[in-house]
A and B are shown apart, each in its own frame.
Chain A
């Protein structure tokens, strides 16, 4: 069991470019969560899927951010027209429906 896999581990983009972050949940886990960690805001929820269906995206910025889960083995978080304030560590977690969440190592996004 490799745990939750996130790629890339580090990404540097220029202002205005697009960034796509990937998450592979633990096999058999039906829920996938995305969180963001910054020094100022701490750890904050973005969005989550259950059985590939979007359930709650209340933490997602309304513009430029989108997430998808096209199949049970991966989810993507896309940020269009990245801005410096998008710089953060983006964390993906997965869980069996009603139990603890297991976190991946995160993707550190730096927007120059």
Chain B
């Protein structure tokens, strides 16, 4: 299978809704990064995690290396959250990233 499975592939939310994205890794990763790719194609880092949970405003991410998954939770979705979200795992610190296939998020008013 794919080294990084990301779900769902697409997601449509109304403003104010909450939802979550998930990545499952076929191999043990030492760290994970979550990105938002905006309409200009720029990859913006949302989180970098080596373990545990981090929060930033309306976003929260968890990484469980042993169970081989990571999640990104979006609370109170806003129009500007629209875009494509990618997770990427690294098998060693400072090593190359293996990307998921992305989640295309559309937030409607």
Contact = CB atoms under 8 A, between A and B. Distances in A.
A47 B31 CA distance: 19
Contacts of A97: 93-94
A105 B48 contact: no
Interface in A22-51: 31, 33, 35, 37, 42-45, 48, 50
Nearest to A47: B96
Nearest to B33: A100
Contacts of B33: 100-101
Helix, strand, loop or mixed for chain B's interface? strand
Contacts of B96: 33, 45, 48, 56, 59
The 3 residue pairs across chains A and B that have the minimum distance between CB atoms: A100-B48, A98-B93, A43-B99
B17 interface: no
Given A42-B99, A42-B101, A43-B99, A98 B43 contact: no
Nearest to B32: A100
Interface residues of A, number: 26
Given A100-B45, A106-B41, A45 B94 contact: no
A65 interface: no
A89 interface: yes
Given A59-B96, A97-B94, A105-B42, 5 more contacts: A42-B102, A45-B97, A48-B96, A100-B31, A106-B42
A86 B17 CA distance: 40
B86 interface: yes
A43 B31 CA distance: 17
A7 to B, nearest CB: 15
Interface in A52-88: 56, 59
A91 interface: yes
A12 to B, nearest CB: 17
12 contacts: A35-B99, A37-B41, A42-B101, A43-B86, A50-B94, A56-B96, A93-B97, A101-B45, A103-B35, A103-B43, A103-B45, A105-B42
